[in-house]
Every structure is written in structure tokens, then in C-alpha cells.
Amino acid sequence: MSENRLKHLALIMDGNGRWAQQRGLRRTEGHKKGAETIRDITKYCSEHPEIETVTFYAFSTENWKRPKYEVDYLMRLLDNYLKNELETYRKYDIKFQVIGDTGAFSKALRHRIEATVEATETHRSLTQILALNYGGRAEIVRAVKKLCNRDEPLTEENITQALQTPYGDVDLLIRTSGEQRLSNFLLWQISYAELTFTDTLWPDFTAEELDTIIEDFKTRKRRFGGI
Ligand code: IPE
Ligand code: IPE
Ligand code: MG
């Protein structure tokens, strides 16, 4: 039996707030620690020969419902993360991409995002995608509108191609913090993804745990409707 190939890994990073609250800290401290986890997991992925793409759910279209100070903190954290990460992207040959509607972000943050995309576009060892102001339904609507405007037929292939960034189907989706739901993440791309839910809160998630989850993924029987 041939092993499952893991080309596209997707992560719903959940539990930052609870991690902080359990320690008597402000929720924002959990986000800060969570950003370090993104760095560790990205490095692990860049050194994993099979993984071509890793997509992190960083901010959903629904996360605007949070208190303004938390949203503002997340925006500042993202700006800082990208500023500090440039060295890591260079050192580990990582290409940075974004999915979601960043039009709602400040001009400065949009500029930082664009500059990081440009600075890393020739990198090849791994593509790291951050889902920012991302919603799976919104992404599908945008794709369908694009096809209608171009008067192209609505086929599965055309929709897949018209998605903001057609990085291909997700092979393995992991959600931390014990919640077992998708929260509007990559709805189209996960139709045959293997799912793993772990109780670990995102700031405590490690490359070792990811390694164990990947080992388990390798042994699963993916049938894609066959027998
Ligand atoms: C995930 O952690 C980070 C974002 C959604 C931005 P949460 O902030 O959702 O943490 P919990 O779920 O409240 O613990
Ligand atoms: C999902 O986490 C979104 C991100 C990880 C960015 P949430 O904490 O926002 O999801 P719900 O509200 O618990 O479903
Ligand atoms: Mg949450």
C-alpha cells in the first residue's frame, strides 16, 4: 500500500485566548505566543520534503466581531510578524502568499503584505499562505462572480481555477483547541481532506505534535469515493 502524500497542510489556529486566560493574562498575550507557533510550524514544514503549501487561518471574515482593541492588536501583530519574518522567509526559502480580502486593512498593512509577497515570490522550498479576512463562502462567491463576468461556464474545474489562489486541495486539516468545526475555512478545498482535531491550544502546539499527526495521516485509508 502506498503512503498518503501530504502536499497541502491547512491549520485552524484556535485557542490563543483560552491559553492566555488560563494563565491570568490578557487574550492578546495568547496571540503573541501564537505567532511564535506559526514560525515554528512554518520552519518544520519548510524542512519537510513533501509539504509544498501550508495555509494558516489567521483572521476570519467573522473575527471583526471581536472588541476593537483585540482586532487592532491582531493587525499590529501581523505587521510585526511580517517585518520580523522576512529573514526567516529568506533563510528557509519560503514564499509568502495571502488569501482573503485585505482591502479592509490599513494602507500601511496592505503595503507590508504586498512588499512581503514581492520579496519572497521567487522562493521555492515552501509556500506559506496566511488566510487574512478570509471566509470560504466569500472566496467561492468571488470566484463565481469572476466566471460570470467572463461569461465562462460554471464547472468544478473553472471554479477551482477562479478561487483567489488555486493552491489545490487540502490533504490534511488540523484544528487546535478541541473545537470540532470548520468556521468557514477553505470550504471548497477541503472536500476530501483528512481532518484532525487536537485539544492542544494553539500557543502550545509543537512541531513534535504535528509530526505525530502526520504519522497518523500516513496510515489513513483515503478512498475518494472508491473502494
Ligand atoms: C485563535 O484564537 C486566533 C484567532 C481567531 C485570531 P482565539 O482568539 O479564537 O482563541 P479562543 O478560541 O478565544 O481561545
Ligand atoms: C476560527 O477561530 C478563525 C481563526 C482561527 C482565524 P474562531 O475562534 O474565530 O472560530 P469560532 O468562532 O470558535 O468558530
Ligand atoms: Mg477561537
Quick: pLDDT tens for 17-43. Answer: 999 999 999 999 999 999 999 999 999
pLDDT digits (tens, 9 = 90+) for 118-159: 999 999 999 999 999 999 999 999 999 999 999 999 999 999
Yes or no: say if 13 and 173 are a contact pair by the CB < 8 Å rule.
Answer: no
Q: Residue 150 Cα, ligand 1 centroid: separation in angstroms?
A: 38
Residues facing residue 126 across a β-bridge? 94
Q: Residue 14 Cα, ligand 3 centroid: separation in angstroms?
A: 5
Q: Which ligand 1 atom minimizes the distance to the CA of 20?
A: 14
Using the predicted structure, report yes or no on whether residue 211 has a pLDDT greater than 80. Answer: yes
Residue 1 is predicted with a pLDDT of 58
Annotated catalytic residue 63: yes
Give the confidence band of 165 by pLDDT, cuts at 50, 70, 90.
confident
Residue 166 is predicted with a pLDDT of 76
Q: Residue 155 Cα, ligand 2 centroid: separation in angstroms?
A: 30
H-helix segments, the chain: 16-22, 27-47, 68-91, 107-120, 136-149, 156-162, 207-219
Active-site annotation holder among 4, 16, 63, 216? 63
In terms of Cβ atoms closer than 10 Å to its own Cβ (0-12, 13-18, 19+), residue 145 is: exposed
Average pLDDT over residues 57-78: 98
Residue 52's identity, in one-letter code, is: E
Q: Which ligand 2 atom minimizes the distance to the CA of 14?
A: 5
